[in-house]
Amino acid sequence: MHTVSRAGARSPVTVRRTALAVAFAVSFVLALAAPGVRLLAQTAPTRPAAPVAAADADLTDSGATAAYRAGDSASALAYPAFSLALFRAVARQTPTANVFISPASAAFALAMTASGTAGTTWSAMARTLGVGTLSPERLGAANAAALRSLTGQTAVTLAMANSIWADSGRPFLPAFLDGTRRWYDADVTSLVLHGPAAQTRINAWVAHATAGRIASILSDTLPDSAGMVLLDAVYFKGRWRGAFDSAATAPHPFTIGDGRRVTRRLMSRRTPLLYVADSGMQVVRLPYRGGRLAMYVVLPESTQRLADAVARLTPARWSRWMQTLAARDVHIELPRFRLEYGTTLNASLDTLGMGIAFRCDSANFSRMLPATYLRRHPTCIDRVVQRTFVDVNEEGTEAAAVTAVTIAITASAARYVPPPVEFIVDHPFVVAIRDDRTGLLLFVGQITDPTQP
């Protein structure tokens, strides 16, 4: 990585046009939110940028060297393939709309859920998460190391919390519950899940875990079939390593997803940043205080459709960017933005290969419930729901996410009762009266016209 002199030493790289994505990187690259928000204006008249400040020149590496790895356990997982695959699957559903998800929250919630599965259900969920070679115990240990590393920071606020809400009276295996406490530091609560009291308590936990940024995850009371709700919450608040000057923020044309031109307020800075241009896209790294977490803005060429750029966002390409980011003098213009987003992830996760976990007739949750109980009460994932919040401004970023996995425990399938045979005597017929002990036919005849008195 070469050293860049102060402003004036070379022409700055100007980062404008329509942005593809934002990703918060946490030492092992993807953590709080996958790419998905459209950001930068397509064209811009020349105007003065905020001056370069000495504190802005935080050129900490992007995770490619030992400077990042030194502080973290080698066993910590980044879920790179799952993170980008989930984002691509969700973005395909609404290709011109805002999308803002947390792959990290989804991964921890699903990993916690997967620890209760076995057989082909475990294999499918592990492959979807990209951890197919690990046992549930090794995955749990790796996630425990990741959570310790993530939440042990002081330069920013990063809190991650897990909880399990188990319907009382269900025979959940102690080994499963103990494992979620050990590996995910999960709060385990037994209660009657069906009714407004459980809805209120779960939503209160969500609001507390996200500093009030996400008020609820359950919009209605849970159905009678709900046996468990597993929650993962992430809350992040960080100040930029070098803040944007609010005096430099100004209205600017912005091309939105459907091609219309609108006016949005863009922040402006000129400063040394890590930057790479590759495959028709520009990438810039905006570090938060402490240098470990950063926002990555990925900007496709103005002639490239956003959906095409998203489809090319693969782990190999992302890794190459992280390895080749280099210090450049950058003039960046970035919109302020604030949004709330919510989605159900069932269809996307089915597409990624874990559909078996949603089918009660084939899912195997024998690490969560006794096999004898499961034979009478087939169990599967009912819904995976995620809600997020993000606010990006001149000072920094605040973001939150909650993922809820609801487990359905059904009654055993009813014995198949075939429909009755249709026997409608509405035309001529034969009739007989028989002694069934001896077989003697007492009477026999045909009725062609059932005359009636």
**Residue 145: exposed, middle, or buried by beta-carbon count in 10 A (0-12, 13-18, 19+)?**
middle
Tell me the pLDDT band of 424, cut-offs 50, 70 and 90. Answer: low
Kindly report whether the global pTM for this prediction surpasses the value 0.75. yes
Residue 69 has pLDDT above 50, yes or no: no
Q: Is-contact 161 296, C-beta < 8 A?
A: no
Q: Is-contact 365 374, C-beta < 8 A?
A: yes
What pLDDT does 46 receive? 36
| β-pairing verdict for 13-15 and 326-335 | parallel
Q: Is-contact 46 119, C-beta < 8 A?
A: no
Q: Over range 147-152, report the average pLDDT.
A: 87
The rounded distance, in Å, linking the Cα atoms of 165 and 193 is: 8
**Residue 64: exposed, middle, or buried by beta-carbon count in 10 A (0-12, 13-18, 19+)?**
middle
Angstrom distances, CA of residue 170 to CA of 370, 381, 425: 10, 16, 51
Tell me the pLDDT band of 307, cut-offs 50, 70 and 90. Answer: confident
Among 274, 277, 307, CA closest to 38 = 307
* Secondary structure (3-state) at 269: strand
Give the residue, 363 or 303, on which the prediction is more confident. 363
Give the residue, 417 or 404, on which the prediction is more confident. 404
Tokens matching residue 169: 């009276």
| β-pairing verdict for 281-287 and 293-300 | antiparallel
Q: Over range 224-245, report the average pLDDT.
A: 95
Q: Over range 241-250, report the average pLDDT.
A: 93
Residue 87 has pLDDT above 70, yes or no: yes
What pLDDT does 326 receive? 92
Least confident of 19-28, 33-42, 242-251, 365-374: 33-42
**Residue 251: exposed, middle, or buried by beta-carbon count in 10 A (0-12, 13-18, 19+)?**
exposed
Q: Over range 95-122, report the average pLDDT.
A: 95
The rounded distance, in Å, linking the Cα atoms of 122 and 37 is: 33
Tell me the pLDDT band of 64, cut-offs 50, 70 and 90. Answer: very low
What pLDDT does 233 receive? 97
State which amino acid sits at residue 309: A
Q: Is-contact 24 390, C-beta < 8 A?
A: no
What pLDDT does 189 receive? 97
Mean pLDDT, rounded, of the chain: 81
Tokens matching residue 6: 């102060």
Q: Is-contact 108 184, C-beta < 8 A?
A: yes
The rounded distance, in Å, linking the Cα atoms of 324 and 338 is: 30
What are the pLDDT digits (tens) for 34-50?
Answer: 232 222 322 333 344 44
Tell me the pLDDT band of 209, cut-offs 50, 70 and 90. Answer: very high
Residue 218 has pLDDT above 80, yes or no: yes
The rounded distance, in Å, linking the Cα atoms of 297 and 36 is: 10
The rounded distance, in Å, linking the Cα atoms of 286 and 267 is: 13
What pLDDT does 354 receive? 97
Tell me the pLDDT band of 178, cut-offs 50, 70 and 90. Answer: very high
Tell me the pLDDT band of 225, cut-offs 50, 70 and 90. Answer: very high
- The percentage of the chain sitting over the pLDDT mark of 90, rounded to a whole number, equals 54
Sheet holding 187-191, edge to edge: 187-191, 157-167, 226-239, 396-409, 379-392, 337-344
Between the ranges 45-49, 290-294, 404-408, 426-430, where is the mean pLDDT highest? 404-408
Q: Which domains does the chain have, with CATH numbers?
A: 13-409 (3.30.497.10)
Residue 246 has pLDDT above 80, yes or no: yes
Least confident of 11-25, 317-331, 429-443: 11-25
Residue 84 phi, psi dihedral angles, 5° rounding: -75, -35
The rounded distance, in Å, linking the Cα atoms of 200 and 163 is: 15
What are the pLDDT digits (tens) for 357-372?
Answer: 999 999 999 999 999 9
